[in-house]
Amino acid sequence: MDTDTCAPDPSRQRNGVVGVLYGEFTDTLNDRVRYSVSLTERALTVQRISSSPGRTKVVFNLTDCVGCRAYRGPDGADVGAYFTAYFYPFKRRWMSAGVARQRVEQCFRVALVQDPLANLQEAERWAPLPSCGLCLTGVVYAEVRRPCRVMILVNPHSGRGQALQLFTGHVQGMLTEAAIPYTLVITEHQNHARELVRKADLSQWDALVIMSGDGLLFEVINGLMDREDWQEAIQTPLGILPGGSGNALAASVHHYSQ
């Protein structure tokens, strides 16, 4: 979406939304299609500008946002800049009564002036959004401040051998979108994670994330408790990405944390 005007004013109210930022954008594929975009502390609201009374408005809750970024386009001759936000709101599954988080990408083009640097600076004012609250790591046992550095331990034999495939197919992209630096460790044998965590320099990590069944989580906890500094080490935030066959522990903790 291309932008023609952008006049941030915290006191300005448009379309019933008090905007921290406000801008008018055009679609990247059709510059005749225009949108008004308002950003508050809680939501990003996108509404098509039209003379028709039934205008379409979409509100994205920032608690569903995993990340955003500002950048120049691939065409060096393009003076515009872009910012993209990534959301994972709950939506109904196709042909199912259940709901699941589904990826929604919102991309906007900023071309206020003919100065590429000025346009990029404007895009950077919109990204990052003020809150990216979706927990990427399933169930987390302590608060994790962002940006954070994460060690992810995956048992490739979990979930009938599909845990690593689940990580590369679903989780890896979300981590990139959220700009979270991580180190992936693929366990090679029983108690590998326990030995690694027992010896690791935990100051390099803000959280440990386990993608497996219940067994690998127990290994990590035991490794933390084996350390001489176990009282401090056990305070390390832990996350579970269910990658096993049953995932009973992750399901139970998630249920009682709601």
Active-site amino acid positions:
214
DSSP secondary structure string for all residues of 36-100: EEEE-SSEEEEEE--SSSS--EEEEEGGGEEEEEEEE-S-TT---EEEEEEE--EEEPTTSS-EE
Amino acid identity of residue 137, one-letter, is T
Question: Token pair 């991580």 is at which residue?
Answer: 182
Give the integer Cα–Cα distance in Å for 62 and 23.
18
Give me Rg for the CA atoms of the chain. 22
Instruction: Tell me if 112 sits within 8 A of 52, measured CB to CB.
Output: no
Give the integer Cα–Cα distance in Å for 74 and 61.
29
Enclosing H/E stretch for 185: strand 182-186
Enclosing H/E stretch for 101: strand 99-101
In our burial notation (b when 16+ CB lie closer than 10 A, e otherwise), range 25-51 reads bbbeeeeeebbbbbbbebbbbbbeeee
Residue 37 φ then ψ, to 5°: -125, 125
